[in-house]
């Protein structure tokens, strides 16, 4: 029986908890803020997308070893750990300076700035380790494991998330064109989300045409995700979101609602959603990705 989305999220949470406990044993005081950051209540959209893409690419129909599910979920931890690092650093006073995240004080508020910088730095190599271990558990040949790590690190780096974050900071309090905003969203958010989808296809050993479809799905759903994030920053409830709303306006950020208005932004998110769903329609098992796509568009946190 295919697990429901909630069951899959619970399995990913269990893998996170179990793997971190094992991996951080004996690492000293850095273990506590790492666990605090990672085990907070995140939506786990990125690991869900990885598993959804693997299913969509036909991975679910292939032979899975007895410990295959755990290995699959371990590989899925890679993008979640990169994402958590980005949240910890994004919240720092020198970045967006936020006090609340995932419903509780941010890592620098709870443990201090030095610990928060080191927590983020430690999460990145942990992410690579999770993917390497997961790929080995799935029995993937070394070049495929290397490709998975290459996809994740490219999306996280100067040409992806870090580069996008810098563009985002440089654009504060400036007039920004819609095209420039799309570049920021692509870099800071959509590249990592797309990497989850590409990695799912690669881990399933899918044909390149399928992997390309999953990447295009991921880019479109990533752009939808950031557009909805911008909308929620204006309309969402802080207690529901677990972070303070209205920060974009306070920081003078360019956002989709600030350029297109709320209705225009909603229409844009739906358009990205349609583009995304069109990409996966021909795939073997697109059901899970469709469900996650709807969740991205309809979310209130
Ligand atoms: C400081 C070296 C250095 C690098 C900075 C901070 C950073 C790299 C990048 C920031 C990228 C970023 C935080 C983009 C925003 C993406 C976004 C909308 C995050 C919220 O994701 P959710 O809603 O969060 O999935 P949960 O908590 O559910 O996991």
Mean pLDDT of the region 67-80: 91
Tell me which fold the domain 5-298 belongs to: Farnesyl Diphosphate Synthase (1.10.600)
Residues 62 and 204: beta-carbon distance below 8 Å: yes
- pLDDT at 272 exceeding the cut of 80: yes
Q: Give per-residue pLDDT as tens, 210-223.
A: 999 999 999 999 99
**Cα 207 to middle of ligand 1, angstroms:** 31
User: In 3D, which of 1, 9, 2 has the Cα closest to residue 43?
Assistant: 9
pLDDT given at position 2: 81
pLDDT given at position 71: 94
pLDDT given at position 69: 83
Structure letter (DSSP) for residue 2? P
Average pLDDT, the chain: 95
Instruction: State how far the Cα of 123 lies from the Cα of 157, in Å rounded to an integer.
Output: 14
pLDDT given at position 65: 43
Give me the residue spans of the domains in the chain.
Answer: 5-298
| Mutate which of 89, 230, 236 for ligand 1 pocket (most atoms within 8 A of beta carbon) | 89
List Cβ neighbours of 123 (8 Å cut-off, separation of 6 or more). 34, 37, 38, 81, 82, 84, 85, 88
Instruction: State how far the Cα of 69 lies from the Cα of 31, in Å rounded to an integer.
Output: 26
Read off the pLDDT band of 66 (50, 70, 90): very low
Mean pLDDT of the region 264-273: 97
| Mutate which of 16, 43, 46, 90 for ligand 1 pocket (most atoms within 8 A of beta carbon) | 90
Phi-psi category of 214—alpha, beta or left, where left has phi over 0 and alpha has psi -120 to 50?
alpha
Ligand 1 near 89 CB (within 6 A): yes
Ligand 1 near 161 CB (within 6 A): yes
| Mutate which of 43, 46, 86, 96 for ligand 1 pocket (most atoms within 8 A of beta carbon) | 86
Read off the pLDDT band of 199 (50, 70, 90): very high
pLDDT given at position 261: 94
Name which residue leads in pLDDT, 67 or 301. 301
Instruction: State how far the Cα of 283 lies from the Cα of 261, in Å rounded to an integer.
Output: 35
pLDDT given at position 193: 98
Q: Exposed, middle or buried, 5 (CB in 10 Å: 0-12/13-18/19+)?
A: middle
Instruction: State how far the Cα of 43 lies from the Cα of 193, in Å rounded to an integer.
Output: 13
List Cβ neighbours of 261 (8 Å cut-off, separation of 6 or more). none
Q: Which residues pair with residue 100 across a beta bridge?
A: 105
Ligand 1 near 221 CB (within 6 A): no
Ligand 1 near 45 CB (within 6 A): yes
**Cα 150 to middle of ligand 1, angstroms:** 20
- 38-47, 55-64, 85-94, 286-295 — which is least confidently predicted? 55-64
Q: Helices in 159-286 by DSSP H: which ranges?
A: 161-170, 178-185, 191-203, 208-235, 238-241, 247-251, 256-280
Read off the pLDDT band of 63 (50, 70, 90): low
**Cα 255 to middle of ligand 1, angstroms:** 15
Mean pLDDT of the region 87-111: 97
Read off the pLDDT band of 62 (50, 70, 90): low
Residues 31 and 37: beta-carbon distance below 8 Å: no
Phi-psi category of 255—alpha, beta or left, where left has phi over 0 and alpha has psi -120 to 50?
beta
Name which residue leads in pLDDT, 66 or 259. 259
Residue nearest to atom 4 of ligand 1 (CA): 162
Q: In ligand 1, which atom is closest to the CA atom of 299?
A: 23
| Mutate which of 127, 184, 185, 189 for ligand 1 pocket (most atoms within 8 A of beta carbon) | 189
């Amino acid at each position: 029986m295919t697990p429901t989305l909630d069951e899959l999220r619970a399995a990913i949470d269990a893998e996170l908890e179990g793997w971190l406990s094992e991996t951080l044993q004996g690492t000293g005081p850095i273990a506590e803020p790492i666990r605090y950051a990672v085990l907070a209540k995140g939506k786990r959209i990125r690991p869900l997308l990885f598993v959804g893409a693997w299913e969509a690419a036909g991975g679910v129909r292939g032979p899975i070893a007895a410990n295959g599910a755990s290995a699959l979920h371990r590989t899925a931890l890679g993008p979640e750990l990169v994402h958590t690092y980005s949240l910890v650093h994004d919240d720092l006073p020198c970045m967006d300076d936020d006090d609340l995240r995932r419903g509780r004080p941010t890592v620098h508020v709870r443990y201090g700035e030095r610990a928060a910088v080191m927590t983020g730095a430690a999460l990145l190599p942990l992410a690579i380790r999770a993917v390497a271990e997961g790929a080995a558990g799935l029995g993937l040949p070394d070049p495929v494991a290397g490709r998975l790590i290459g996809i994740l690190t490219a999306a996280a780096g100067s040409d992806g998330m870090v580069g996008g974050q810098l563009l985002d900071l440089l654009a504060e309090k400036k007039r920004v064109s819609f095209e420039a905003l799309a570049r920021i969203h692509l870099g800071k958010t959509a590249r990592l989300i797309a990497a989850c989808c590409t990695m799912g296809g690669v881990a399933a050993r899918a044909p390149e045409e399928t992997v390309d479809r999953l990447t295009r799905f991921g880019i479109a759903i990533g752009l939808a995700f950031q557009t909805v994030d911008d909308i929620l920053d204006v309309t969402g409830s802080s207690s529901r979101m677990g972070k303070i709303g209205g920060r974009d306006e306070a920081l003078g950020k360019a956002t989709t609602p600030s350029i297109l208005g709320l209705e225009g932004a909603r229409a844009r998110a739906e358009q990205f959603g349609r583009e995304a769903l069109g990409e996966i329609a021909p795939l073997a098992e697109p059901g899970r990705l469709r469900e996650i796509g709807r969740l991205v568009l309809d979310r209130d946190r």
